[in-house]
Structure 1
Amino acid sequence: MNTTKNRWLIALSAIAIHLSIGAAYAYSVYTNPIRDAMGWSTTGITLSFTIMMALAGFTAAFFGSFVERKGPRKSAILAAVLFGLGQAGAGVAVAVDSLFLFIFTYGFMSGLGMGIGYIAPVSTLIKWFPDRRGLATGMAVLGFGAGALITAPLAASLMETITISMTFYILGISYFILMILGASYIAPPPQGWMPEGMKKDIASGKKTVKQDLSQLTAKEAVRTKRFWMLWTMMLINVTAGIMMISVASPMAQEVVGLTAAGAAAMVGIMGIFNGGGRLLWAAASDYIGRPVVFITFFALQLVAFVTMPNITNVLLFQALVFIVVSCYGGGFSNLPAFIGDMFGTKQLGAIHGFLLTTWSLGGILGPLLVSQIREATASYIPVFYVFTALILLAFLISIFLQLDIKREEKGEQKKEVVRTGKLEYSAASKR
Structure 2
Amino acid sequence: MSSQSSGGALDFLKKENIIAAPGYNRWKVPPASIAIHMCIGSVYAWSLFNGPLTRQLGVVASSADDWSLASVVWIFSVAIVSLGLTAAFGGKWLEKVGPRYVGVVAGFCWAGGFLIGSVGISTHQLWLIYLGYGVLGGMGLGLGYVSPVSTLIRWFPDKRGMATGMAIMGFGGGAMIGAPLIRWLLSIYAKAPEYLGAESAVTLITEGGRRFAETAAGKVEVV
* TM-score w.r.t. length of structure 1: 0.37
Task: Say if 2:143 is the partner of 1:155.
Answer: no
- CA distance in structure 2 between the partners assigned to 1:130 and 1:65 by the alignment: 19
1:129 aligns with one of 146, 156, 159: 156
* Alignment map for 1:71-110 (pairs within 5 Å): 71-110=98-137
Task: Say if 2:49 is the partner of 1:22.
Answer: no
* Alignment map for 1:291-306 (pairs within 5 Å): none
Query: Which has the larger helix fraction?
Result: 1
Superimposed CA distance per residue, residues 388-420 of structure 1 (whole angstroms, 9 cap, x where no aligned partner): xxxxxxxxxxxxxxxxxxxxxxxxxxxxxxxxx
- CA distance in structure 2 between the partners assigned to 1:87 and 1:24 by the alignment: 11
Aligned partner of 1:87: which letter? F
- CA distance in structure 2 between the partners assigned to 1:15 and 1:139 by the alignment: 7
Superimposed CA distance per residue, residues 296-321 of structure 1 (whole angstroms, 9 cap, x where no aligned partner): xxxxxxxxxxxxxxxxxxxxxxxxxx
Aligned partner of 2:128: which letter? L
Aligned partner of 1:96: which letter? T
Superimposed CA distance per residue, residues 266-285 of structure 1 (whole angstroms, 9 cap, x where no aligned partner): xxxxxxxxxxxxxxxxxxxx
- CA distance in structure 1 between the partners assigned to 2:116 and 2:35 by the alignment: 21
* SS of alignment partner, residue 56 of structure 2: helix
Q: Which residue of 2 aligns with 1:33?
A: 52
Superimposed CA distance per residue, residues 359-414 of structure 1 (whole angstroms, 9 cap, x where no aligned partner): xxxxxxxxxxxxxxxxxxxxxxxxxxxxxxxxxxxxxxxxxxxxxxxxxxxxxxxx
- CA distance in structure 2 between the partners assigned to 1:44 and 1:8 by the alignment: 44
- What is the percentage of aligned positions where both structures have the same residue? 40
Q: Shift of residue 37 of structure 1? A: 1.9
- CA distance in structure 2 between the partners assigned to 1:6 and 1:19 by the alignment: 22
Q: Which residue of 1 aligns with 2:9?
A: none
Q: List alignment gaps of at least 5 residues for structure 1.
A: 165-431
Q: Which residue of 1 aligns with 2:73?
A: 46
* Alignment map for 1:194-209 (pairs within 5 Å): none
Query: Which has the larger strand fraction?
Result: 2
Q: List alignment gaps of at least 5 residues for structure 2.
A: 3-19, 58-65, 192-223
* TM-score w.r.t. length of structure 2: 0.70
Superimposed CA distance per residue, residues 215-260 of structure 1 (whole angstroms, 9 cap, x where no aligned partner): xxxxxxxxxxxxxxxxxxxxxxxxxxxxxxxxxxxxxxxxxxxxxx
Q: Is the 8 A contact 2:38 2:172 kept in 1?
A: yes
The size of the alignment, in residue pairs, is 164
* SS of alignment partner, residue 63 of structure 1: helix
Q: Which residue of 2 aligns with 1:12?
A: 31
Aligned partner of 2:173: which letter? A
Task: Provide runs of 4+ in structure 1 moved above 3 Å.
Answer: none
Q: Is the 8 A contact 2:82 2:139 kept in 1?
A: yes
Task: Say if 2:90 is the partner of 1:63.
Answer: yes
Q: Is the 8 A contact 2:86 2:143 kept in 1?
A: yes
- CA distance in structure 2 between the partners assigned to 1:12 and 1:88 by the alignment: 27
- CA distance in structure 2 between the partners assigned to 1:91 and 1:129 by the alignment: 39
CA RMSD of aligned residues (A): 1.5
- CA distance in structure 1 between the partners assigned to 2:77 and 2:164 by the alignment: 26
Q: Greater CA deviation, 70-79 or 36-45?
A: 36-45
